[in-house]
Structure 1
Amino acid sequence: MKMFLFKRKILTAAVCLLLAAGMFYVVNHPAIVGAAAAARQLPIYCVQRDQKVLSISFDAAWGNEDTQMLIDILGKYKIKATFFVVGEWVDKYPESVKALHDAGHEVMNHSNTHAHMSQLSKDEIIADVEACNDKIEAVTGVRPTLIRPPYGEYDDNVITAIRSIGMEPIQWDVDSLDWKDLSAPEITKRVTGKVQPGSIVLFHNAALHTPEALPGIIETLLQDGYTFVPISEIILPQPYTIDHTGRQLPA
């Protein structure tokens, strides 16, 4: 019995010693521990900006009833936005893709088939993205440099695959929730209440009340001193870092 208690004390002491050594390592090597914790690959959700500047974006995957109306509203306020379009949407509505480009808006990639990219291999992701790039370039003459993964879904494989072909994955930090068919006042209150310098706002080109809400949102933010720019103009060039929230920062 005494031998058992003696061995138990030795084991307890050894465990305590290992825990103490681990704590010592964390305290004295925070950069290494932090690097391990930060290893997850993230897209850009927003950008650190001192000035009141933001980007508004629209995902286009299915309907097309309101696209021209959105172009007209944005044109009225001389605002350029970023439209993320699906390759199959380009197939159906090439005239709308051209109209977006001709109006000065960015036409970027939202995948070719709106697949769940986290379920695809790296090669399948690249093939899907490049197929959409080819379609957009054929209509606009400009090859996309940005992509928004469908459903906002991603993992390390998705982000690594996208960046391996020189493209930047983009999310958002302000979701209008227009896809939930919120009323125009609800959309307006939600967006204007959440925007901050460097924000990227998500809308959809075929949401029920977005055209009704958009003028009020734009006017409120303009009165608050904000400037609207396309996403390619709000994100930072290399070198940069991305914090754990997805905020892009200067390196």
Structure 2
Amino acid sequence: MVLMVVSKKKLKKIIIFILILAFIIGGIAYILKNKTQDTMNLLDLAQNNQPYTMGTAQNSGHVAITCNVDLGWEDEYIEGILEVLDKENVKITFAVTGKWAEKNKDMLLKIQQKGHEIANHGYQHINYDTLSYDENFNEIKKSQDIIDAATKQKSKFFQAPSGAFCDDTVKAANDLGYICYKWDVDTIDWMDKDNPDKIIERIKSKDIKDGSIVLMHPTKATTMCLDDIISIIRTRGYVPGKLSDVFNEQ
């Protein structure tokens, strides 16, 4: 009878040990799986003809803020955006279309003179994922020529309007020397142009990481809450900055 009791106790211990071991192995497998996925996202997307959604610099300590300037209706708020950035001592990336740059060279140069980075957003705001390789190349190259001639610098980053990439878009941009990017934190401020509180709550709910890319536009609401967005990034322990701060540019 005693032997049976001892055997049951041993069996119970063995079962508990097996369960603990299975839990540990499962946890390790989960961590490795997610780490592998993160590495794929950060380092291998370009090889798969996909734009980067986060920066590639490891432990950069930064979060990039990108401001798309493309349709023209937001021009009146660019000054306000620049004033907030001056006040917060933050330099970001402005992605502009060549068509906008042609008509607004003085503002383009003002943005640059204040220390902000200029990215290529294509010549016009159309769906680049519907274009052939040659059409993508021509649109991106036309914008590149306009932007680089105005700023006297080589633009390094390209984002297709609406984030609409296809393989030919990425290949054409890469052939022109660009790093293609999208974003992982979207303010969706174009939808809430008069509602800064909604934008703030949306950003608070996002999983902001080292190397994250925040997308915004110069809208009335963004002008009113940009300082809050910057504060949220800082509260998470990161420095708000440019795309160059979160990418290895080999």
Which range, TM-score by smaller chain?
0.7 to 0.9
Maintained 8 Å contact 1:52/1:196 = no
Structure 1 position 55 matched with structure 2 position 64: yes
2: distance between equivalents of 1:192 and 1:95? 35
Amino acid at match of 2:181: I
Residue 212 of structure 1 aligns with which residue? Answer: 224
Query: How big is the shift at 1:51?
Result: 5.2
Greater alpha carbon shift after TM alignment, 39-48 vs 196-205: 39-48
Residue 237 of structure 2 aligns with which residue? Answer: 225
Q: Which of 198, 202, 221 matches 2:215?
A: 202
Query: How big is the shift at 1:230?
Result: 0.8
Structure 1 position 46 matched with structure 2 position 54: yes
2: distance between equivalents of 1:217 and 1:117? 29
Give the root-mean-square deviation of aligned CA atoms: 1.9
Cα 1:158/1:74, change in 2 over 3 Å = same
Maintained 8 Å contact 1:181/1:208 = no
Structure 1 unaligned residues grouped into runs of 5+ = 1-33, 239-251
Q: Give the paired residue count.
A: 201
Q: Which of 127, 132, 136 matches 2:138?
A: 127
1: distance between equivalents of 2:113 and 2:249? 25
1:12-54 deviation digits (Å, cap 9, x = unpaired): xxxxxxxxxxxxxxxxxxxxxx9xxx87421010136435420
Q: Which of 153, 156, 159 matches 2:167?
A: 156
TM-score by length of 2: 0.75
Structure 2 unaligned residues grouped into runs of 5+ = 1-39
- Structure with greater helix share of residues: 2
Maintained 8 Å contact 2:136/2:168 = no
TM-score by length of 1: 0.75
Structure 1 position 236 matched with structure 2 position 248: yes
Look up the SS of the partner of 1:118 in the other structure: helix
Structure 1 position 136 matched with structure 2 position 147: yes
Look up the SS of the partner of 1:138 in the other structure: helix
Identity %: 27
1:204-251 deviation digits (Å, cap 9, x = unpaired): 12x23100110112123223422122102211244xxxxxxxxxxxxx
Deviating above 6 A after TM superposition, structure 1's stretches of 4 or more consecutive aligned residues are: none
Residue 181 of structure 2 aligns with which residue? Answer: 170
1: distance between equivalents of 2:123 and 2:98? 4
1: distance between equivalents of 2:53 and 2:232? 22
Look up the SS of the partner of 1:201 in the other structure: strand
